[in-house]
Amino acid sequence: MDNLKTHDQNADQVAYWNGPAGQRWADRQAAQDVLLKPVADLVADRAQLKPGERVIDVGCGSGATAIAFAQKVAPSGHVFGIDISGPMLERARQSAPKDLPIDFALADATVYPFDPESFDVLASRFGVMFFADPALSFANMRKALKPSGRLAFACWREPRENPFFMAPLMAAYKHVPKLPQIGPEDPGPFAFASETRVRRILGEAGFTGVEMEACPLLLDAAIGRGLDGAVQGALEIGPVSRALEGQPEELRVAAAASIREALTPFAKGDAVLLPASVWIVTARAS
């Protein structure tokens, strides 16, 4: 992890995203890009990116959003993608067209020494919910923005608003123990589900004009591959894969059958359209 300097409290996340889980996400890059494109499109639209602007893509993962942002700010703009996952950044570097103005850095945005007041936009698709001290992290990132800079990111709303996650997970729980309970302010997919918490974090970090837009979606968990594809995706990545990790094969098979049953009502041809809901959060640097 070539001299990755991190905040001590982010050590668990660094270990997770540089281990087998990070590799699984990198391996599923093409599928995830298709699945989450509606969210990436929302972020890009609300960020109002213009040619010539400089953008930080926080938690850029395997590079899909950085590439999309760079296409909007090219040729004179620039995108700086930052992530703590070595496997995902390797995929990002492989995927990014050579003619686009993108650079990537394996780094922790909590402590990374950004050039002060040098970026126009801070943007992210699901890359900001994993900081141990998010107010500290956002304060550091805000320093990189010009006084006229702006923020736009996507985060998941409450679990009850997201059958996309919960339908397959509840089916798996019929056969395996539940995952350890995560506190509402612990790093994780739903760490920014609370509107009150997000506003508090961004306010403490110095952002103003915070707006939170609830965006309901239908996400194709099958990405056009039918029920088999949706079940396979649930088993390979996300909370179901964590719940089934280390479980005997017979329980995995039983869980897969229950997941298939739970997802059948959402199947429409080759698609499996699961309701999901995200916040699109926007704010100003000052």
What tokens does 75 get? 């040729």
CA dihedral sign of residues 98, 100, 103, 109? negative
pLDDT at 2 over 60: no
pLDDT score, position 183:
84
User: Average pLDDT, stretch 187-205?
Assistant: 97
SS3 content of the chain, % helix, strand, coil (to 5): 45, 20, 35
pLDDT by residue (tens digit) across 149-159? 999 999 999 99
User: Nearest to residue 119, comparing CAs of 84, 69, 63, 165?
Assistant: 69
Residue 273 in 3-state DSSP?
Answer: strand
Q: Which amino acid belongs to residue 174?
A: K
Query: In this structure, how many other beta carbons lie within 10 angstroms of the beta carbon of residue 116?
Result: 10
**Per-residue tokens: 117:** 């007041």
The rounded distance, in Å, linking the Cα atoms of 122 and 283 is 10
Rounded Cα–Cα distance for residues 125 and 153 (Å): 6
CA 102/CA 96 separation, integer angstroms: 8
Tell me the CA end-to-end span of the chain in Å, nearest whole number: 34
pLDDT band per the 50, 70, 90 thresholds, residue 48 = very high
Residue 75: the pLDDT is 97
Question: pLDDT (tens digit, 9 = 90+) per residue, 83-99?
Answer: 999 999 999 999 999 99
Output the pLDDT for position 21: 86
* pLDDT value of position 185: 86
Mean pLDDT over all residues of the chain?
Answer: 95
pLDDT of residue 203: 98
User: How far is residue 165 from each of residues 54, 208, 219, measured CA to CA in Å?
Assistant: 33, 31, 11
Query: Following CA atoms 140, 141, 142, 147 in sequence, which dihedral angle do they give, to the nearest 10 degrees?
Result: 120
pLDDT at residue 1, rounded to an integer: 46
Phi/psi for 186 (5° steps) reads -80, 150
- Total residue length of the chain: 286
Residues with Cβ within 8 Å of 199's Cβ and at least 6 positions away in sequence, in order, are 210, 212
Three-state SS string over 33-89 comes to HHHCHHHHHHHHHHHCCCCCCEEEEECCCCCHHHHHHHHHHCCCCEEEEEECCHHHH
Rounded to an integer, what is the distance from CA 253 to the centroid of its chain?
Answer: 28
Q: What pLDDT does residue 3 have? A: 64
Q: Among 11-15, 63-67, 134-138, where is mean pLDDT lowest? A: 11-15
This prediction has a pTM of: 0.94
Question: Which is nearest to 42 in space by CA: 109, 106, 124, 98?
Answer: 124
